Structure 1
């Protein structure tokens, strides 16, 4: 999901509580805060000597230990106000992919992408998912030659 799409959802549903599901049936606790918004530029070279460039917006979610008894989730308007403040200080890229960085004592730190969004009742449920790593070079080898890359140490891939 692009940053502008996510912000559009918040604008469309300002009174809805924003819940983040980080694993099936598990949501970030109501005591979460948006503690950091990062404008990331990725300028990379893969193992097949292919280059790539893209931008990401990474939003850090953190559960405050001092507010463990909190039962109300942040509403979309408050989240949108935070993003507007950030954008006024450091311009966010609307076409950048948005990801959410999160961890808790039972879940490792991960950058999660938006897999799905559901609007129901009073909630805007943002379902997050882990993106598995893959070898980009094997994909480009197949696209250029039509053959599967073996990704052995001797190949032009990995």
Structure 2
């Protein structure tokens, strides 16, 4: 999801509570805060010596230990107000991919991409997912797997225990 798409989604659902599903059926606690917004510029070289560049918006979510047991989630309106304030200080690249950085005691710190969203009663649930690493230069640098076929007239296993 692009940053602009997130803002449009939040704008259209200001009256809802904002929940984040960081793994299937696991929600970020209601005690979460938006603690940082990063405007990232990536300038990369892959294993095939190809260059690439892109931008990302990374929004960090943190669960406050002082608010354990909190039941009411942050409103979409409040989250949007926080993000708008950040945008006045440091403008967004609206076509940048948006990711959420999150961890808890049972889940490693990760930058999660927006996989989907769901509106459920008075809740807007942003469904996050882990992005697997991948080789961008497979055609250039990955050695193709060669399968060798051996043919023989002899049986594969012999009575003396010589098995293939």
- In the other structure, the counterpart of 2:62 is 62
How many residues in Structure 1 have an aligned counterpart in Structure 2? 145
- In the other structure, the counterpart of 2:15 is 15
Q: Which runs of 4+ in 1 moved over 6 A?
A: none
- In the other structure, the counterpart of 1:150 is 143
- In the other structure, the counterpart of 1:26 is 26
- 1:27-54: per-residue Cα shift (whole Å, max 9, x none)? 0000000000000000000010000000
RMSD across aligned positions (CA): 1.5
* Distance change in 2, residues 1:149/1:77 (3 Å): same
Structure with the higher fraction of residues in helix conformation:
1
- How far has the Cα of 1:149 moved from its partner? 3.9
- How far has the Cα of 1:150 moved from its partner? 1.6
Q: Distance in 2 between matches of 1:84 and 1:135?
A: 35
TM-score scaled to structure 2, two decimals?
Answer: 0.85
Compare CA radii of gyration and give the structure with the larger one.
Answer: 2
**Residue segments in structure 1 that go unaligned for 5+ positions in a row:** 143-147, 153-158
Q: Distance in 1 between matches of 2:132 and 2:85?
A: 32
- In the other structure, the counterpart of 2:113 is 113
- How far has the Cα of 1:151 moved from its partner? 6.8
**Residue segments in structure 2 that go unaligned for 5+ positions in a row:** 146-164
